[in-house]
A and B are shown apart, each in its own frame.
Chain A
Amino acid sequence: MSGDGGMGGDGGMGGNGAMSGGVLEELMRGSLDHCVKCTICETQCPVSNVTPLFPGPKYAGPQAERYRVSGEPSVDSSVDYCSGCGICSMSCPQGVKIAEINSQARNRLKQQKGFPLRDRIITRPTWLGRAGTPVAPLANLTIDFKPFRIFGEKVLGVHRNAAAPEFAGRRFSTWAKKHPSPPTGKKIVYFHNCGTEYYEPWEGEKVMQILEHNGFEVVVPKQDCCGLPLQSSGLFDDARKVVLRLARALVPYVRDDPDTLIVGNATSCTLMLKREAREILSLEDDPDLKLVSERTYDICELLLELHDRGELKTDFNPVNEHIFYHAPCQQQGHWIGKPALELFALIPGLEVTEGNARCCGIAGTYGLKAEKYDIAMAVGADLFGQVKTSGASEVACDSETCRWQITHATGHKSVHPIDYLHRAYGL
């Protein structure tokens, strides 16, 4: 007998005729009707093109989904090799929600097969961050300590060579509390994400300075993880709790003023808030998340829009560098093109090589896993090759996990695009 819609109980928010989780899941599953088997998604998938362990987006998504019955056992473990990069959904000319279907299938698979301990740990950057920050120097040593890494691989399943970032030893939020923005009346909410908080607080400082330079009063609410790593590993119930907690934390700042926006510098995490949580976790009906998703902007997206209106300060000094720009999959997944490139064009002296590789391979936490590391490195090989032959000195990239992967594989320094604006502004 078919079970409870495969969602683990009533996934909807209840009351007021809200749609059940099962109906919302059908929104993704139902999009399989648009599939005409054209193979375009297969041509774009960075994973299936390098390994036969993943049968490809067309197969794992709209094709296999016709064979899946909610409540019946999952039979295709190969869907777990999908990295969740979302390039398939973006490339599909018919609007099939391929990556989203894969994600939901992975969730059901994991619910049945169980979640490895590793997947419960590496998907919680907040825990790791809070644990590692106070003891950063020691923690960073162990991350680079080979025997520890080998032990970690055997026990936890995190590949010994995977690009693990270093703890900054301080938290961005602490700095933000000490450096409130001057009041200008033009408020903006900053969603800084775990990467900025525990690993790259200086990026957060730059974001705030750029916004302040352009007349914003930046508000930094108490906030936590967006839940994306949990979702990517198939832990949907936990991911829902985490993302809704974040939505509740941010929504009071935007509820009363229709012009207040939320801006973030981590394109994967802003994408989670904008779209992925609602679609993949079937949270379309949550009113707080809906409002937050409508107001959330990526920092480059925001700056470009300001520029279009003539509101962006363009007092840029020359930056005489040749850089390589890689747009992460989950930046492209915002479906707004690559605003960073348009911003770079405003900076005198800045020469930019636009990469045309698909994916760096890390896909959040995918490339950390022992069984997926080699696949991730094969996926990224094209990008790494392009970086090395470009002659560029640095690599601009909007997502911190991608930056770490690129540096790990090529040795090149990698920074967020706004770093160049910050430099050009002379802040």
Chain B
Amino acid sequence: MKARHNAEPARPDADAGPTNLTKARPLVPLDSALFKDVNVAIQAKLGLATLSVEELLALRAGSVVKLDVRLNELIELRLNQSLVARGEIVAVDDHFGVRIVEIAEVA
């Protein structure tokens, strides 16, 4: 913090404290070489099913659990529990995949 204050004395918001940190230019940008080898897991979440404990205890092999998503609905891609994109289920060779339809701006 201190070093940056000294480097940019003319910035009007330089004294505004930590809440303005996101507005200031980051020290380490997301596309930095630093992150070249850092991987994150993006989770493909199909949907929710709300069952009572009674129903839950009655589940057996072969039981069908209906989810709250329609067949043609987009599914959610979550990064650390946060929704970051939506897409449709696709098959890629012998694996499932998700084709991104909706994604937030990088910010």
A and B assemble together? no
- Contacts from B to A (Cβ < 8 Å): none
Measured CB to CB, the residues of A under 8 A from B are: none
